[in-house]
């Protein structure tokens, strides 16, 4: 009761303020005061309780080491020994569990309810790597906003997103969940997504706390194998891995999740250098750090902590504030404090951080604020969201090849054969993180294209991609043998004007614990493609996948290739609009597509070697492969349009010594016959530096839509933040010397100029 009154007083007080910045400060100091008053009332056991998070009663986002603990979990909630839950969702469930905490625990502190609302809750947006291909920050912000609106209507107040891990390794299944390989693009997207989830005001009922994860370097797992060791140098850590986290912190993200991996010998969950020195001290992060699922306990398997007690001690000292599902905080911290092994101030600090977020969400004023049945009913799957998820889905599609203008396909009079199991799939396009959404809730490609009803369509599956179980936590069986559907597919292809083949990965073949050693079309799909090609070469290949694939044969033979990822609820509609030309594709790859898996890690912002070029024909001693080119199949930033663009008149004005800016302008023209949008990308090379710099780094971009024949001047201003880099001591430095500027439509941009600092 006391807590509710305090909250009420806070509202009255805030309501009297005029100046909004003043009112924010007042609100903050009010919250700080409330947190301190509450902390003073709490026992050590209750404070530790705030640091404990349990999964709900369906442990579906991690292994289940603690089966049969349900009764204990319930008892702990009632005893104030739990601060947050995950995987409890739906108004009825959340209300029931919240009630236990609020009504039965001594202080009635409300729980946080976390869930992996990664790219939608019920209405599903494209998987994050697909959205990143849109390069449209506002559309991504909106996508996260919709996710927050739906999830919050279902009782959830905290999401474990965005994943901001940079990765250069397509074998790693979780690249589907990130923004790709580039730290600048990744940072911009991190900000947009945090803003989308959290909004301007966290206390609103339709905004939720966000989590930037996984801190840090999870995307650099050796050999792309999930949960594997990471060993990277300081230059990569500071310049590539950390910037998106910093951007999320600057955008006021409320929590950060530990990574499962060891980073340079120290498990991230127990890494004081990462959590305290960088995150909390250097960056002043004032939210809280949540472990990943049992990542506290996993420090034993890593060979870092001898047992659960030692793991809890190391994690707490390092700066992990909340323990997800390992039980070690709740079981060990009290005696660790009593025995003088962990300073009680660290527990206070962690509890303070968690309580602050609860106050900011407004949970003390109304613990059931996300629990309105009526709102839940009217919000979930509300048709009003569909236009926006369709918009981002279209923008996420990348046109990879369009020989002889095979695309767009005519909207009438065509006999079209549609082939591939994924064409008829209404679940796979929802992607791997769609645990809140219902199976079969996506528009399939077939459904989308059949709306263009002036053509004649025939469909044949050809071959399954996977067989058997598609449950989230189970391994999928790839179809490597059954080709019984090939003949049927070949026979419909023979008489077709155009063949649309929808091939790729099932939605659950990427994501957590879905690493692959190959980047080809799984199973018998490549054979199917080649056999259909034998009878009809007029093929448009629509790819659905959660990672870059290496498809050199398709690139050489197939005239039309469309990268359509897993695009969520509106998938089929978005694909159809692109195929038939109602939407002119504008997506640009956020990650390099290799020619062969053996090139991985392959990324555009690489360093030069000492022997980068072939010195003379036939020479062997230079940096290359003897059996494959060095170059990618499709570079970072690449994507075609149904029109074409040209770039000219690059002008660089160097005013750095006067006002600290270097201005770059370029004229962009639409040289084709259709209206279209491109993304103007500016890359920089700091040619000589005290720590070597990449051959190119994306520094800024802008999207521009032009009518046929129209030209526009695009201007960029570079400042120190764009010109400098982190040295190996983690200091940001801007060094004098020569810089090269490249502007264009992808990372092969060759319109270039130079300036000196």
Contacting residues toward ligand NOJ, per CB under 6 A = 61-62, 86, 116, 160, 213, 292-293, 512
User: Bridge-partner residues for 661, per DSSP?
Assistant: 655
Task: Give the tokens for residue 484.
Answer: 């019984």
CB-based contact 430:445 (threshold 8 Å): no
Q: Enter the tokens of residue 197.
A: 């989830």
HEC per residue, 457-510:
EEEECCCCCEECCCCCCCCCEECCCCCCCHHHHHHHHHCCCEEEEEEECCHHHC
Give the nearer residue to ligand NOJ in terms of CB position, either 212 or 442: 212
DSSP 405: G
Q: How far is the CB of 256 from ligand NOJ (least distance, A)?
A: 12
Which structure tokens are listed for 170? 């397509």
- Cα separations in angstroms, 528 against 415, 463, 481, 485, 566: 20, 8, 12, 9, 21
Cβ closest to ligand NOJ, residue 156 vs residue 706: 156
Tokens of 472: 């989230």
Cα 377 vs. chain centroid, distance in angstroms?
28
What are the C-alpha distances in Å from 256 to residues 112, 353, 397, 421?
Answer: 15, 12, 30, 39
Instruction: Between 160 and 565, name the residue whose CB sits nearer to ligand NOJ.
Output: 160
- Residues assigned a catalytic role: 292
Query: Which of 196/511 has CB closer to ligand NOJ?
Result: 511
> Whole-number minimum distance, CB 201 to ligand NOJ, in Å?
25
- Where does residue 745 rank: exposed (0-12), middle (13-18), buried (19+ CB within 10 A)? buried
Q: HSE on the CB side for 483, CA within 13 Å?
A: 15
Give CA–CA dist 543/526, Å, rounded: 12
Mode of pairing for the β-strands spanning 725-726 and 732-733:
antiparallel
Angle, nearest 10°, between helix axes 486-494 and 525-535? 30
CA–CA separation, 681 and 691 (whole Å):
24
- Taking alpha carbons only, the member of 567, 587, 108 closest to residue 355 is 108
CA–CA distance, 369 with 111 (Å, rounded to integer) = 12
Closer Cβ to ligand NOJ, 86 or 446, answer by number: 86
CB 61 to ligand NOJ: min, Å: 3
**Nearer to ligand NOJ among residue 116 and residue 149 (C-beta):** 116
Can you tell me which residue has the tokens 């038939």? Answer: 580
Nearest CB to ligand NOJ, comparing residues 182 and 512 = 512
The three-state secondary structure class of 212 is strand
Task: State in angstroms the smallest separation of the CB of 225 from ligand NOJ.
Answer: 14
Count of other CB atoms within 10 angstroms of residue 1: 6
Angstrom distance (rounded) from CA 276 to CA 282: 8
Q: What does the alpha-carbon distance between residue 321 and residue 329 come to, in Å, rounded to a whole number?
A: 9
Residue whose C-alpha is closest to residue 671's, from 636, 614, 711, 727: 711
Minimal distance, residue 235 CB to ligand NOJ, in Å: 26
Check whether the bond before 408 is cis (ω within 30° of 0).
Answer: yes
């Amino acid at each position: 009761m006391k807590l509710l009154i305090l909250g009420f007083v806070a509202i009255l007080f805030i309501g009297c303020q005029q100046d909004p910045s003043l009112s924010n400060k007042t609100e903050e100091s009010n919250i700080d005061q409330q947190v301190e008053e509450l902390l003073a009332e709490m026992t050590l056991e209750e404070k530790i309780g705030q640091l404990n998070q349990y999964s709900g009663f369906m442990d579906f986002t991690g292994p289940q080491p603690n089966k049969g603990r349900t009764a204990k979990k319930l008892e702990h909630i009632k005893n104030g020994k739990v601060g947050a839950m995950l995987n409890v969702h739906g108004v009825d469930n959340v209300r029931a569990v919240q009630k236990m905490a609020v009504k039965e625990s001594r202080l009635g502190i409300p729980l946080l309810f976390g869930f992996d609302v990664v790219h939608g809750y019920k209405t599903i947006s494209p998987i994050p790597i697909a959205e990143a291909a849109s390069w449209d920050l506002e559309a991504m912000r909106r996508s996260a906003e919709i996710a927050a609106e739906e999830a919050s209507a279902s009782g959830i107040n905290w999401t474990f997103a965005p994943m901001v891990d940079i990765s250069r390794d397509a074998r790693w299944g979780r690249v589907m969940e990130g923004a790709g390989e580039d730290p600048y693009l990744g940072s911009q997207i991190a900000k947009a997504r945090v803003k989308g989830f959290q909004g301007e005001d966290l206390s609103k009922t339709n905004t939720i706390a966000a989590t930037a994860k996984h801190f840090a370097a999870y995307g650099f797992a050796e050999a792309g194998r999930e949960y594997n060791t990471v060993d990277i140098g300081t230059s990569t850590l500071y310049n590539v891995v950390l910037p998106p986290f910093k951007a999320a912190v600057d955008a006021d993200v409320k929590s950060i999740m530990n990574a499962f991996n060891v980073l340079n010998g120290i498990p991230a969950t127990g890494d004081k250098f990462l959590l305290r020195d960088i995150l909390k001290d250097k960056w002043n992060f004032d939210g809280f750090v949540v472990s990943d699922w049992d990542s506290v306990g996993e420090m034993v398997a890593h060979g870092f902590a001898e047992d659960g007690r030692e793991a809890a001690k190391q994690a707490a000292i390092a700066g992990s504030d909340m323990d997800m599902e390992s039980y070690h905080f709740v079981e060990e911290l009290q005696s660790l404090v009593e025995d003088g092994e962990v300073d009680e101030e660290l527990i206070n600090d962690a509890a303070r951080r968690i309580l602050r977020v609860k106050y900011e969400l407004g949970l003390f004023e109304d613990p059931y604020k996300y629990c309105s049945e009526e709102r839940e009913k009217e919000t979930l799957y509300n048709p009003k969201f569909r236009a926006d998820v369709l918009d981002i889905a279209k923008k996420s599609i990348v046109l990879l090849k369009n020989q002889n203008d095979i695309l767009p396909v005519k909207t009438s009079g065509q006999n079209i054969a549609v082939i591939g199991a994924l064409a008829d799939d209404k679940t796979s396009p929802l992607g791997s993180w769609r645990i809140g959404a219902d199976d079969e809730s996506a528009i399939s490609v077939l459904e989308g294209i059949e709306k263009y009803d002036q053509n004649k369509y025939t469909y044949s599956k050809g071959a399954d991609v996977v067989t058997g179980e598609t449950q989230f936590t189970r391994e999928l069986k790839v179809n490597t043998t059954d080709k019984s559907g090939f003949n049927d597919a070949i026979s419909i292809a023979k008489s077709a004007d155009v063949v649309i083949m929808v091939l790729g990965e099932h939605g659950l073949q990427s994501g957590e614990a879905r690493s692959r050693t190959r980047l080809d079309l799984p199973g018998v799909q490549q054979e199917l493609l080649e056999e259909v090609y034998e009878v009809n070469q007029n093929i448009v290949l629509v790819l659905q996948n959660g990672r870059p694939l290496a498809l050199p044969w398709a690139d050489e033979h197939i005239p039309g290739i469309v990268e359509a990822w897993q695009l969520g609820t509106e998938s089929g509609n978005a694909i159809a609009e692109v195929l038939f030309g109602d939407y002119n594709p504008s997506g640009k790859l956020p990650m390099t597509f290799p020619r062969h898996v053996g090139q991985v890690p392959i990324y555009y912002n690489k360093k030069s070697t000492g022997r980068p070029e072939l010195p003379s024909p036939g020479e062997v001693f230079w940096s290359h492969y003897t059996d494959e080119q060095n170059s990618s199949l499709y570079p970072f930033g690449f994507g075609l349009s149904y029109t074409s663009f040209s770039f000219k008149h690059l002008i660089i004005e160097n005013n750095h010594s006067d006002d600290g800016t270097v201005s770059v302008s370029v004229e962009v023209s639409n040289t084709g016959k259709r209206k279209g949008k491109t993304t103007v990308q500016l890359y920089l090379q700091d040619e000589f530096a005290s720590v070597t710099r990449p051959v190119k780094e994306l520094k800024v971009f802008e999207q521009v839509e032009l009518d046929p024949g129209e030209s526009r001047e695009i201007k960029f201003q570079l400042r120190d933040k764009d010109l400098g880099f982190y040295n190996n001591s983690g200091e940001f430095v801007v060094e004098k010397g020569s810089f090269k500027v490249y502007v264009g439509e992808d990372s092969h941009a060759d319109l270039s100029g130079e300036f000196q600092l």
